[in-house]
Structure 1
Amino acid sequence: MARARVERSGYDRALAIACLIVLGFTLYCVLPKVVDGTGATGLDFSCFWSAGQMALDGHAATAYDWPRLRQAILHIHPSLNDAPFPVYEVPIPFFYPPFFFFAATLLALLPFPTAFWIWSTIKLLCWGLVVSAIRPRFAVLLLAFAVPAVLYDFIVGQSSLLAASLLGAILLTLDKRPIVSGFLIALLIFKPQYGVLLPLVLIATGRWTVFITASLVIPLFMLLTGLTFGWDTFEGFREAAIFATTQFHLTGTLAWYKLQSVYGVLRFAGFGYGSAIALHVAVAAAAALWMLIIWRRNVSFAVKAASLLVATLLVSPYFAIYDTALLALALIFLMNAPMAEHGSLLSNRSELRIGFGVLVLAGFTYPVALVPVGPFMCATLIAMIWMRCRQPGVKSDLAYG
């Protein structure tokens, strides 16, 4: 027992050192650009803040009007006028459901720089709290902040880190606090692609309290949204969703390498729309079925949680590099899943080192090579989950909730 404790302490120390090296390298490369403003910090956040300004002016639905949103964003980032990329012809469109206006308007009450830093602080705090609740180790917390997805989310001011934290909290409260979990699922409607598999899990496993709570709270949130910001925001969102599907994400307006999905990889490789979307749907269906099978098996909850997080990314054709924070969360959940050190292809610790290494190396390769790396990351986590599932019936040592 004492020997195991010493080995674990040594492993935590080695992991912490590796993460500190990665964090140090990241800060060395990025911090100067953040300070002098050359890194376009908060570029994506500018669409949230501008949408909030429009809502405060009583015209929330105009946030879905691309030319008007463009003019608002150019006041914040005038250099976009000279950007060479076609995506910036309509910079950073606003695709979020109307419920997101509650957050956007609060942020828009503050000057843009202040709002950006408060938004970033809240995201990082939520991320740290959820990670600590899953695996309360300092080395694991360092790992959670060292993965490149956190850096990318911070720089542009995206919402993926907050949504990933919310999904992690949903999993943590799923069994012991089902009403809280259902309420959190309702909050996740601001990023609906993150919750697309949750209803399947709840129905397949009979978690009816969570399902009913979410089913009651979501319409209430939609009612409050309509009464507060106007019912025309829902029509604006519907048109934005159509635009996102037919003219932005799936047609090449957004560079293919930026789509980290199976669909993005296939389009990057030269496949046409029909074949790429058909193959993506096939992979998505297989991933959803695989995830449901795992949730029906007698395996550790940590393995089930990790399978949901990985499958969530495989199902969506839209996910970007900062969404791979879900894979970091899956890796941290897997740290709680017991696995024999003998009789396996790799030891538990070697496997986790490989997983962390893939997330870091592939994440930093992306902006240099300009290729989609998401499916490769997902495949690595799937292999790790498969190795855990070779030991059915093993229960996690961590009590969730």
Structure 2
Amino acid sequence: MAHADAARIGSDRALAVACLIVLSFTLFAAIPKAIDGSGATGLDFSCFWTAGAMALDGHAAAAYDWHQLRELILRIHPSLNQAPYPVDENPTPFFYPPVFFFVAALLAQLPFPIAFWTWSAAKLLCWAVVVCAIRPGAVALLLAFATPPVLYDFLVGQSSLLAASLLCGILLTLDRHPIVSGVLIALLTFKPQYGVLLPLVLIVTGRWTVVITASLVIPVFILLTGLIFGWDTFVGFREAATFATQFHLTGGLAWYKLQSVYGVLRFAGFGYGLAMTLHIAVAGAVTIWVLIIWHRNVSFAVKAASLLTATLLVSPYFAIYDAAILAGALVFLMNASMAERSLLLSNRSALRIGFGVLVLLGFAYPIVLVPLGPFMCATVIAMIWIRCRQPGVKSDLAYG
């Protein structure tokens, strides 16, 4: 017993050291660029901030007008008028649901640099709180922050880390605090592609308190949005969402930036029809897989990890920073207690391998310029599969 405890402690230390090395390298390479303003730091955040400024001026719906928004953003990042940033592609359009104006307008009351760092600090704090709630301890926290997609989300000022925090928070409060979970679902509507699988799981597993709460809170958010920012914002959002779909899925965006199965197939030369058909087939298979896992007598940590991973694979559009959600899946899997002797691969070994793959593929992405997201997801799915096929699954920590 003492020998097993010593081995576990040694393994945890090894993983912690690996995470610390990766995190130190990441900070050394990225923070100077963020501080001196070189590159396109805060590029994606600029569309949030500018949309919020337009909302404060009483022109929220105009934020969905690509030409008006771009003119204002170029004042923040004038270097985007020059190569290698073609003006017709950068900065990014604003196509978030109107409810996001509450956040954007709040941030727009601050000067852009202060708003960017406030936004970044808030996201990282939410992420840290959720990770510690899933798995207390330095090892889990280091793993969650050392995953490369977290860095990419921070550098461009994206919203994926906040959405990942909300989705993990929904899972944490699902059973003990279903009303809180329902409110968090309503907040997650700003990133609708993250909520495709969740309603199915809730309905199939009969978590009606969560469903009813979300169904009541979401209309309240919509009503407040329309009253404060104008009902024309919903018209603008519909048009912007249509444009975004065409832009991202028909070649307006470089295929290597699409980290989905669809993106891989288009990158490989498949046409739209065949690529989308195959993507839908994979999404359908993944959905069935998740529903089966949620009906099995397995650890809740395994169920949560399956939902987080499949959430990425279902959407035809997700970017490299969205893969930060996989770090949350790994942290959940740290709680997947099992009889180690019955495993083909021990829990700790699988975690080290999984983390290593995410780090290697994450840092390889900007070098090779190939969509690697499905391969990152496949790594986590393999870890889940190993656990589900082995006997000896034990009840893990209760969440809530």
Give per-residue Cα distances to partners, 1:77-115, cap 9 Å, x unaligned. 000011334475452100100000000000000000000
Instruction: Report the TM-score when normalising by structure 1.
Output: 0.97
* Paired residues for 1:187-266 under 5 Å: 187-246=187-246, 248-266=247-265
Give per-residue Cα distances to partners, 1:130-178, cap 9 Å, x unaligned. 0001010101101111000110000000000000000000000000000
Residue in structure 2 matched with residue 148 of structure 1 by the alignment = 148
Residue in structure 2 matched with residue 350 of structure 1 by the alignment = 349
Counterpart code for 1:173: T
Distance of 2:67 and 2:15 partners within structure 1: 48
Instruction: Report the TM-score when normalising by structure 2.
Output: 0.98
Give per-residue Cα distances to partners, 1:196-247, cap 9 Å, x unaligned. 111101110000000000011101110110001000000000001100111x
* Paired residues for 1:1-400 under 5 Å: 1-86=1-86, 88-246=88-246, 248-391=247-390, 394-400=393-399
Q: CA deviation at 1:10?
A: 1.6
What are structure 2's unaligned runs of at least 5 residues?
none
Distance of 1:115 and 1:60 partners within structure 2: 18
Asked if the contact 2:286/2:313 (under 8 Å) is kept, the reply is: yes
Distance of 1:89 and 1:310 partners within structure 2: 29
For the aligned residues, what is the CA RMSD? 1.3
Q: CA deviation at 1:185?
A: 0.3
Asked if the contact 2:340/2:347 (under 8 Å) is kept, the reply is: yes
Counterpart code for 2:385: W
Distance of 1:141 and 1:90 partners within structure 2: 33
Distance of 1:338 and 1:330 partners within structure 2: 15
Counterpart code for 1:373: L
Percent identity between matched residues is 78
Q: CA deviation at 1:398?
A: 1.0
Q: CA deviation at 1:392?
A: 6.0
Q: CA deviation at 1:265?
A: 0.3
Distance of 2:252 and 2:334 partners within structure 1: 39
Asked if the contact 1:297/1:392 (under 8 Å) is kept, the reply is: no
Distance of 2:382 and 2:395 partners within structure 1: 19
Distance of 2:4 and 2:121 partners within structure 1: 37
Asked if the contact 2:339/2:394 (under 8 Å) is kept, the reply is: no
Asked if the contact 1:327/1:381 (under 8 Å) is kept, the reply is: yes
Distance of 1:4 and 1:344 partners within structure 2: 15
Counterpart code for 1:131: V
Report the secondary structure of 1:209's partner residue.
helix
Asked if the contact 1:306/1:329 (under 8 Å) is kept, the reply is: yes
Q: CA deviation at 1:343?
A: 3.4
Distance of 1:342 and 1:26 partners within structure 2: 36
Is the deviation greater in 347-356 or in 104-113? 347-356
What are structure 1's unaligned runs of at least 5 residues?
none
Distance of 1:89 and 1:275 partners within structure 2: 26
Distance of 2:367 and 2:185 partners within structure 1: 36
Report the secondary structure of 1:103's partner residue.
helix
Asked if the contact 2:342/2:392 (under 8 Å) is kept, the reply is: no
Counterpart code for 2:362: G
Asked if the contact 2:80/2:87 (under 8 Å) is kept, the reply is: no
Distance 1:88 1:10, change over 3 A: farther
Asked if the contact 1:260/1:319 (under 8 Å) is kept, the reply is: yes
Distance of 1:133 and 1:393 partners within structure 2: 25
Counterpart code for 1:366: Y
Distance of 2:26 and 2:371 partners within structure 1: 21
Distance 1:292 1:361, change over 3 A: same
Distance of 2:256 and 2:187 partners within structure 1: 30
Distance 1:15 1:123, change over 3 A: same
Counterpart code for 2:297: N
